[in-house]
Amino acid sequence: MSFRFIDLFAGIGGFHGALSALGGECVYASEIDRAAARIYARNWGFIPDGDITLSANETTMNVPEHDVLVGGFPCQPFSKSGKQKGMDEARGTLFWNIAKIIEVRQPRIVLLENVRNISGPRHVHEWEVIIETLRLLGYRVSSKPLVVSPHRIHPNFGGRPQVRERVFIAATRTGELGNLIGKEPALPNIEKFHQNWNIQSWSLEKDLPIDSKMTPANKKLVTLAETEKLWIEAWDEFVQLFKAAHPGQNLPGFPLWADEWVASGDLKIPNGTPAWKANFLRKNAEFYTENKKIISKWKKKYSNLEEFPPSRRKLEWQAQDAKSLHETVMHFRPSGIRAKKATYVPALVAITQTTILGKQARRISTREGARLQGLPEWFDFLDQPQSTTFKQLGNGVNIGAVYNVMKALVMRDLDLLGSNSGLVKSILGAPNDPSEYLSSYQIPTNSMARKVVQAGVGPREFEKNSKFHRVVK
């Protein structure tokens, strides 16, 4: 291996997959969730440490030397007392522990990932503290957020059909400790990985790909409940009625709220109604007035939707000219049933909002969810519940996104890293698509981590039997 990396807040190992494919060797990982750590150990052959605050603090540094630090860190509110910023202000948060590792170990590259809101208006202060801290520690880092989503990355570079906008904080050590406040570098340029790709070109059947055959046990896990099938069939019948009445016309793009369908002349909007809601109420009233005949017929057949939960009496049509709900992908959301074209899917979240494949009339499987995150086919979730697996996938990082951000960061900072260094040669010489490496990745058969999980221990036993809170020398 050409460089060493540490994997903080590691989850099930999205960063590990990307950095391994770039030629790196993991020398330390931390993950406090026992179930996720067990899956990490099973698949990457490395047992994560537990609580990072016990291994990296004011008096202890049990994190080994490394070249690259990566992590999808939790964002916590920082103190706003006075005008002081930097490490002292981050004290008591998990970012402070990251900063402490950086201060002591001085890795050449730091790559952190978080949800898009980390750079939004609600977290302005936290964002400023993070950027200023890294600059005080001597790192070149842009104060602008680098927003990356796998659905925008060309499949030849490891893109996947999932909208997953995440902010990356990409920093490289300069050696100018404490002298970089106010210096504003360009963001790493990821346009190369977007070129010649139209996001409407994704096809879930081909690019995910969707499983055509499933075992009876797996099929049972993704089968829709009878009530869910009823909601889909009812709304699909509505789509057919509308399209028959309006040939060549698409359903409107605003949310259809069956509970608010009244004639325009009867519409009464209470005082204090937010402007956005008042606008939707007017549009729904106009829609009802224009389509009263088919709506009345449809609602009568389904007993005015009285047995439908409130959120299932709403339809958000984002599928443009699709002829049927069975041509779309759907999500059962608190705001309604959302339908869109079967190109790319929204970000993986909890199982209750897992993507529903209209043509297959089922939810996506955990294997398909793993593919959306760029995990290889051999990746194993052992015997844990499906809900736990989807939680882990929903909390994970996409391998292709990390892989290409690392390449772009190295290209930006060749002047600091040196074009002839082993780290640079390894990363820039890696295949275009990380799956080329990961498809044949093999865990050492004598790995202690592999032996532990092959013994069949559960997450609680895993903590007890695997030196989960081990001390790194």
Structural domain spans, the chain? 3-201+392-465, 212-364
Q: Report the relative pairing of strands 314-318 and 256-257 from DSSP bridges.
A: antiparallel
Report the range of poorest mean pLDDT among 207-221, 319-333, 385-399: 207-221
pLDDT at 473: 27
Whether pLDDT at 371 is above 90: yes
pLDDT at residue 350, as a whole number: 52
Q: What is the mean pLDDT of the chain?
A: 89
pLDDT digits (tens, 9 = 90+) for 126-145: 888 899 999 999 999 999 99
What is the rounded distance in angstroms from the CA atom of residue 173 to the CA atom of residue 108? 5
pTM, rounded to two decimals: 0.88
Each residue of 184-203: b (16+ CB within 10 Å) or e? ebebbebeebbeebeeeebe
- Which stretch of DSSP H or E encloses residue 316? strand 314-318
Joined together, the tokens standing for residue 86 give: 């930097």
User: pLDDT at position 221, please?
Assistant: 86
Statement: residue 234 has pLDDT above 80: yes
pLDDT (average), residues 366-377: 95
Catalytic residues: 75
Predicted confidence at residue 177, as pLDDT, reads: 82
For position 91, what pLDDT does the model report? 62
- Residues of the chain with pLDDT > 90, as a percent, come to 74
Among the ranges given (120-129, 303-312, 358-367), the one the predictor scored with the smallest mean pLDDT: 120-129
Predicted pLDDT at 469: 41
The pLDDT, as a whole number, for residue 463 is 58
Task: Indicate if the pLDDT at residue 148 is higher than 60.
Answer: yes
pLDDT of residue 121: 79
pLDDT value at residue 471: 32
Q: What mean pLDDT is predicted for residues 54-83?
A: 82
The string over 219-235, giving b where at least 16 C-beta atoms fall within 10 Å of a residue's C-beta and e elsewhere, is: eebbeeeeebeebbebb
- Decide if pLDDT at 161 tops 90: yes
pLDDT for res 126:
85
pLDDT by residue (tens digit) across 446-461? Answer: 666 666 666 566 666 6
Q: Which CATH architecture has domain 3-201+392-465?
A: 3-Layer(aba) Sandwich (3.40)
**Confidence bin at 82 (pLDDT 50/70/90):** very low
Residue 157 has pLDDT above 80, yes or no: yes
Across 20-34, average pLDDT? 95
Higher pLDDT, 457 or 259: 259
Question: Please, are residues 396 and 12 in contact by the beta-carbon 8 Å criterion?
Answer: yes
Task: Give the pair of three-digit tokens for residue 343.
Answer: 């190109």
419 pLDDT above the threshold of 90? no
How much is the pLDDT for 125? 83
pLDDT of 464 higher than 70: no
**Is 45 within 8 Å of 15 (Cβ atoms)?**
no
Percent of the chain with pLDDT over 70: 89
Q: Which 8-state DSSP code applies to residue 345?
A: B
